[in-house]
Structures are given as structure tokens and as C-alpha cells.
Amino acid sequence: MANRLEEFKSYRLRMNDRIAKIDHLGIKRFFNLDTRAYENGALDAKTKELLGLVASTVLRCNDCIDYHIVQCVDAGWKDEEIYDALNVGLIVGGSIVVPHLRHAVESLDLARAEKNGGSVRQPD
Amino acid sequence: MANRLEEFKSYRLRMNDRIAKIDHLGIKRFFNLDTRAYENGALDAKTKELLGLVASTVLRCNDCIDYHIVQCVDAGWKDEEIYDALNVGLIVGGSIVVPHLRHAVESLDLARAEKNGGSVRQPD
Amino acid sequence: MANRLEEFKSYRLRMNDRIAKIDHLGIKRFFNLDTRAYENGALDAKTKELLGLVASTVLRCNDCIDYHIVQCVDAGWKDEEIYDALNVGLIVGGSIVVPHLRHAVESLDLARAEKNGGSVRQPD
Amino acid sequence: MANRLEEFKSYRLRMNDRIAKIDHLGIKRFFNLDTRAYENGALDAKTKELLGLVASTVLRCNDCIDYHIVQCVDAGWKDEEIYDALNVGLIVGGSIVVPHLRHAVESLDLARAEKNGGSVRQPD
Amino acid sequence: MANRLEEFKSYRLRMNDRIAKIDHLGIKRFFNLDTRAYENGALDAKTKELLGLVASTVLRCNDCIDYHIVQCVDAGWKDEEIYDALNVGLIVGGSIVVPHLRHAVESLDLARAEKNGGSVRQPD
Amino acid sequence: MANRLEEFKSYRLRMNDRIAKIDHLGIKRFFNLDTRAYENGALDAKTKELLGLVASTVLRCNDCIDYHIVQCVDAGWKDEEIYDALNVGLIVGGSIVVPHLRHAVESLDLARAEKNGGSVRQPD
């Protein structure tokens, strides 16, 4: 049985496929622009993922947090660095961010477990 | 005559002094915590200023943008890197961020002019 | 078994009934005012539902999106028109809106399926 | 010459008069409902003004903060109590609230000065 | 089987324990500051919980609403008073708050049921 | 001497020119996408301007409101229709929107005065 991070990833893919079938140039172009915003440029892709994580944290979007947590792990950010970035998000955004900090830390644990292969730790 | 960035900096200092006189431990501690969030830690201070700038951009706070633009310039970020960070903020936050992008770019120009000494370029 | 759109509609009705039992004139009047805001006036009801959908999209409220998606379908808006309205919401609100765009498109599919009678298509 | 709090109050009155001339029942009723929300009810009016101040602070609306600061002063809240309420807003809303805390404290000083008659202290 | 309020409380405790294991002074201090913000000060703890509830309502955070609803019940606020506070949140925040009002009222019913011991009323 | 709507329009043009000089493909493309979002499509341009106005109102962005007010006037929307759209924004967004409603109504008056040529009515 999939954990919530895997469920999110599969829902995201399924709905992105569905949206890709919509015949609307503006929507298609925005999705393309969104992808490109995190590619290497004046800043490297790794730094940009951290920017995306903090932006998602202060705007309090769990799905966006999940996406960028996975990307940050893939990009090679260490836990301590991710916590430090989340702390910036917490101080900027205040205690209203706390439920999303809980979510982010749980997602990070799930992403690490998946990365480490073997048993994906389920929340108890 | 001071430009708007200098006016902001002087207003900020004056009101921070006023707030420092308030006998409230919670407020004092929060200000301290806020300062520390941008100091070297698992992430370096330079990276954190960029995180602060993007967080301020997506939350659409001009005063916060001004503060972090000045800090980013002082930390050694180049214009191209700051534009690339602002682009992440723009894509995450959408066109509602555009007025704050205008503000950020103008503040960056003012901060550079001040840095370069000599005449602080006024917006025409 | 009900899909998530039907579950939302039934939860909404149940809790609106519960709230209607609260003896508070301000709350009652606000609910009344909210209903009236979408009735025919200088603008027709159909246009107002689209305004409500875009407002709900940029404010990133899934329940509100679900409500207005159903209303937009009932009011006779076509899929292409709803996509075009959602695109305005996407551009104004940025990529932080994307998870809500996914939700909106899924809700639209569920609402159309229900409208078309027969089998309500479950998300796979 | 009027200070910024007096300017806000006069602008607010002028535009409320302008809006009152709009022939739209929904707008009229909302303004009425808004006024009533702060009148004595299960909670007394004094408590509700503090709720309004904290809501305005976390939503980062300077005009709303100014309005409720004046109301809180009129309702008899002491400076220490208002600071304690603003601290709740600061912790809930984070450092993005700081510019609005500066604004609120300055407005409180202006409101007190006006209340104490004599010379209204201008920000230096 | 636990209702959603009990599930939230147990998730909150579990993740707060997890976060407490993170070796980051800033995060620890923020959590401490957050707790202290609601303790007796110039304002009493009871009043501050109501401020926290209204702030959570207008910022539309269901987890934060749940936490403060439980705290408000424990602090001795009556239903009528809580409804009156929620009405302030509703008027300030508008219809986008309505789904969170539904959530808050349901949470209040669950918290009362738990308080009254015996059978915890499940939403039908 | 220019009124505040004219000042905004000139500032917007000047800063858009400045931003156009930034060598960043993502920013350029976003501006292009933003322009296209309001062009005739499945929905006509006139309807989309109203969607943009309501989105700007609930997101509480005065510059965005000013831009779309001018566009709505140019697109042929009547005052009564614009008020009806603003009412939707007011009900969705609540009293925190009121300062932006004041701004919008004042901007509408300024835009009409300019449209009617002759003397641009200054706020008294």
C-alpha cells in the first residue's frame, strides 16, 4: 500500500496528464515555464529547488511542499540544510506555517526512506 | 533629498528603535530570532538572504523585498542571480507578483547606485 | 459509493444545516448575502458564477472551487470556457495555484459525469 | 497639516460616503453587517475590537490596522494590552507582519497623541 | 475508532515530537515563543486563545482552528462567545472563510462531546 | 499635475520598459503569457477583464485593481456592472477587501473622468 507521498506523486502525474489533454495554449505554456524556472540558469537548479521549497512553505501549499521536498532530496540537499531553509520559512510565515512544517518533515522522512530503498516507513 | 529606499531604511531603523522600547519579551525574542534566521548555519548567510527575498516576493511585501534586496546586494549576489530568483517568485506567485517585481527591480537599481557611490540615481 | 464531489456536497449541506441552527444574526445574514451575490443583477448569474470560480481559484480554496464548478456547469458554461477562466486564475495566481487547477479539472470531470447521468466516473 | 492617521480617517470617510451613493443593496448590507460585527453581543464590543486588530494584523492590512487601533484606544485598551495582542499577531503571522507591526505601533502613538489633545506628535 | 479531532491531536503530538528531535535552535525557540504567546501577560490566556482562533480563521488554517477551538473550550469560552468570535472572522475574511467555519463548528461539536465524556459524537 | 491613476500608469510603463531590458527568457515569457491571458479565446476579452478585476480585488492588489479598472472601462463595462463584480469580490474576500473597494471606486471615478476628457476630477 502506497504512503501519502507516493499517492500524491501518482495523483500529480495522473492529473498533469489530464491537463495536458486540455487544448489551451496558455495553460500548456505556463506548465512549460514553471518547469524551466527550476532549471540551471544564473542560479543552479539545486539552489532554485530550495527557493521553491521556501516559497511553497510560506504560501502554505502542502502539495507544492511535497513536490519540492522530493526535488530537494534528489538535488542533494542534506536534512540539516533543508531544516535550515524550513526555519527561514517558519520565521517569515509564523506559526500558521507550523502545520505545513509538520507536513514537510514527514514528507522528508518519507522521501528519505524511499530513497534508501528497502522499507518505506509508514507514519505509525 | 533621500530616495524611497533610503527613506524606507531610515523609517525601519526609527520604528525598530521605537519597538525596542516596548517592554514585551515575546516581541524582543521574535526580532532576535528573525535576525538569527539569516545567519550562517547549515546554509550560509548568502543563500538565506536569497530565500528571504523569494519568500518576501511571493508574500508580496514591498518593505520585506527592499530589506532583502539590500542584503542580497551586500551579500554579493549579482543582478543576474537576483533576477533568476525573482523569476522563481514570479512563476510561483503569478501576475499578482508583477507590481512587486517592478518594486524589487527599482530597489535593486537604487541599491546598486548607492553601492556605486556618487550620485544615487533617482527614478526619472 | 460516493465520489469526493458528492461527499463534499453532502458535507456542505449537513454543516450548513448545523450552522443554520446557530442563533447568530450576523452569521445568518452573511450566508444570505453570499447567496444573493450570485443572483441576477447588473451582471447575470451565469457571469457571476465564473467570477466566483476565478476568485476561489486564486484564493486556493478547493471547497469553494468545487461549489462554483458545479454552479458553472449548471449555469451552462462549456468546458472550454471554464478552462479559459481557470487559465486567468492560473496566470494571476501562479504555480501555487496548480494543485487547485488539478482539483478543479477533476471536479469538472466528476460534475460532467454526474450531469451526463449513468456511471459517475471515478478517478482511476 | 494632518498626520497620516488623520489623512486615513478623512479619506476613509470621504470614500465611504462615495460608496454609500452606489445603488447596490449587497454592498450596503455588507457595510452594515461589518459595523454590527463589532457591537456588543455574546462578546462585548471591547473584546471584538481586539479580535479585529489581530485579524487585520495577520492579514497585513494597514488601513484595517489603523481603523482598529483607533477603535481599541477608544474602547479603553491600554498600550500593554495592545502590544500583547500585536505579539499574538506577530507570532501567528511571522516576520512578514513586522512592517505592519511598525505601522501599528506608529498609529498607536499617533492615536494616543491625538487623544491626549494638544500637539499631535508627527513622526520625526 | 478516533474522530478527526482526535486524529489531528495525535498527529500533532507525534510530529511535534519528531520536530523536537531536529537539532535546530531557531525552530526550537520559535516553538517555545509560540507557546508563550498564549500565556497570561498583559492580556489573560483566555482572551489570547480567542485571538488565536480568529487569526487562524481569517488565515484559513484548519489545523490551527482545531488547536485553538480545543484551547478555547478548555479556557471556558461558551459556544455563543465562540460563534461571535467566528462571526468576526467570517466578516473580516469573507465567504472564502465559510468552509473553515464549517470545519470550526464541527470541531467545536466534537470538542464539546469529548469534554462531556461518554460517547464522542461522530459526524453522521 | 497628474492624479494617482496617471502616476500609476506612467510608473507601470517605465518599470515594464526597465524589466523588458532584463535578459531573462522566463520573465519575458511570463509577461507575454500574462498579456495573452486576457485576449479573446473561448471567453471574450471583455469578460476576462472582469475576471482579472475580481481576482485582483480578492487578492487585494491596488496596482492590479487600477490596471483592470482601466481595462474594464475601455472594454465597455458600465459602472453598475463593475460595482456588481466588486460586490462579488467583497463578499468572497470580506471586510479586509474594503480598503481596496475604496481604492477601486476612486480609480473608477478617475478613469471615467479621464475618459470623459476635459477636467480630470481630482479627489477633493
Q: Is the pLDDT of residue A53 over 80?
A: yes
Q: How many CA atoms lie within 13 A of A37 on its CB side?
A: 29
| Neighbouring residues of F116: CB distance < 8 A, sequence distance ≥ 6 | none
Q: How far is D57 from chain F (nearest CA, A)?
A: 11
Mean pLDDT of the residues in chain D:
94
Q: Is the pLDDT of residue A104 over 90?
A: yes
Region B84-100: mean pLDDT is 98
H-state helical runs in chain F: 4-20, 25-36, 45-58, 62-75, 79-93, 98-115
Quick one: how far is CA D90 from the chain centroid?
16
User: In this predicted model, what pLDDT tens digit does every residue of F89-110 receive, in sequence order?
Assistant: 999 999 999 999 999 999 999 9
Range(s) of the domain holding residue C14? 4-115
* Lookup: cell for D82: 495592545
Output the CA–CA distances (angstroms, integers) from residue C41 to A30, A34, A35, F80, F112, in the order listed: 34, 39, 42, 9, 22
F18, F27, F59 ranked by CB distance to B90: nearest = F27
* pLDDT for res F1: 58
* Lookup: cell for A79: 536534512
D123 in a structural domain: no
* pLDDT for res B86: 98
| Neighbouring residues of F84: CB distance < 8 A, sequence distance ≥ 6 | C41, C42, C43, C48, D24
Contacts of A30 in chain F (CB under 8 A): 33
CB-CB contact of A110 with A3 (8 Å): yes
Cα separation, D66 vs C54, whole angstroms: 30
User: In this predicted model, what pLDDT tens digit does every residue of D102-114 receive, in sequence order?
Assistant: 999 999 999 999 9
Q: Is the pLDDT of residue F12 over 70?
A: yes
Confidence grade of residue A116 (pLDDT, cut at 50, 70, 90): confident
Is residue B97 helix, strand or coil?
helix
Confidence grade of residue E1 (pLDDT, cut at 50, 70, 90): low
Residue numbers of chain C with a pLDDT score lower than 70: 1, 118-124
Q: How far is D95 from chain C (nearest CA, A)?
A: 21
* pLDDT for res A120: 47
Percentage of residues of chain E with pLDDT beyond 70 = 94
Region E54-73: mean pLDDT is 98
Region D12-26: mean pLDDT is 98
Output the CA–CA distances (angstroms, integers) from residue C95 to A28, A86, C76, F55, F74, in the order listed: 12, 19, 28, 15, 29
F33 in a structural domain: yes
Q: Is the pLDDT of residue F124 over 80?
A: no
Structural domain tally of chain B?
1
Output the CA–CA distances (angstroms, integers) from residue D120 to A61, D9, D64, in the order listed: 45, 15, 21
> Could you report how far apart the first and last alpha carbons of chain F are, in Å?
14
Cα separation, D79 vs D87, whole angstroms: 12
Name which of D32, D33, D40 to mutate to probe chain C: the one with the most chain C Cβ atoms within 10 A of its Cβ.
D33
Q: How far is F67 from chain A (nearest CA, A)?
A: 21
| Buried/exposed B76-90: b ≥16 CB within 10 Å, e otherwise | ebebebbbbbbbbbb
Is residue A124 helix, strand or coil?
coil
* pLDDT for res D123: 44
Amino acid occupying residue D58:
V
Q: How far is F28 from chain E (nearest CA, A)?
A: 33
User: In this predicted model, what pLDDT tens digit does every residue of F36-92 receive, in sequence order?
Assistant: 999 999 999 999 999 999 999 999 999 999 999 999 999 999 999 999 999 999 999
E123 in a structural domain: no
* Lookup: cell for F25: 527568457
Region B50-64: mean pLDDT is 98
Confidence grade of residue D1 (pLDDT, cut at 50, 70, 90): low
Kindly report the pTM of this predicted structure: 0.95
Cα separation, D86 vs D106, whole angstroms: 13
Mean pLDDT of the residues in chain E:
94
Cα separation, B75 vs B57, whole angstroms: 18
| Buried/exposed D100-109: b ≥16 CB within 10 Å, e otherwise | bbbbbbbbbb
D121 in a structural domain: no
Residue C37 at interface with chain F, using a CB cutoff of 8 Å: yes
D122 in a structural domain: no
If one counts every other C-beta atom within 10 angstroms of the C-beta of residue D116, the result is 10
* Lookup: cell for A68: 519540492
Residue D96 at interface with chain A, using a CB cutoff of 8 Å: yes
| Neighbouring residues of C93: CB distance < 8 A, sequence distance ≥ 6 | B93, B94, B96, C57, C58, C60, F55, F59
The DSSP secondary structure of A86-117, one letter per residue, reads HHHHHHHH-GGGHHHHHHHHHHHHHHHHHHT-
Residue A22 at interface with chain F, using a CB cutoff of 8 Å: no
C33, C37, C41 ranked by CB distance to D33: nearest = C33
A120 in a structural domain: no
Confidence grade of residue A1 (pLDDT, cut at 50, 70, 90): low
Q: How far is A97 from chain D (nearest CA, A)?
A: 8
* pLDDT for res E2: 77
Radius of gyration of chain B (CA): 15
* Lookup: cell for C22: 446557530
User: In this predicted model, what pLDDT tens digit does every residue of E10-62 receive, in sequence order?
Assistant: 999 999 999 999 999 999 999 999 999 999 999 999 999 999 999 999 999 99
Chains within contact range of chain C (3+ C-beta pairs < 8 Å): A, B, D, E, F
C83 in a structural domain: yes
* pLDDT for res F122: 47
F102 in a structural domain: yes
Cα separation, E92 vs C68, whole angstroms: 21
Chain C: residue nearest B88 by CA?
A: C95
Cα separation, D93 vs D111, whole angstroms: 24
| Neighbouring residues of A91: CB distance < 8 A, sequence distance ≥ 6 | B33, B34, B37, D94, D95, E26, E30
Place of cell 517568485: B89
Give the domain CATH number at B109. Answer: 1.20.1290.10
Task: Say if the Cβ atoms of D106 and B15 lie within 8 Å.
Answer: yes
Chain D: residue nearest F61 by CA?
A: D61
| Neighbouring residues of B36: CB distance < 8 A, sequence distance ≥ 6 | E25, E26
User: In this predicted model, what pLDDT tens digit does every residue of D23-81 receive, in sequence order?
Assistant: 999 999 999 999 999 999 999 999 999 999 999 999 999 999 999 999 999 999 999 99
Place of cell 501577560: E41
* pLDDT for res C116: 85
Cα separation, E57 vs E90, whole angstroms: 8
Range of weakest confidence among B4-13, C89-98, E113-122: E113-122
* pLDDT for res B122: 47
Residue D27 at interface with chain C, using a CB cutoff of 8 Å: no
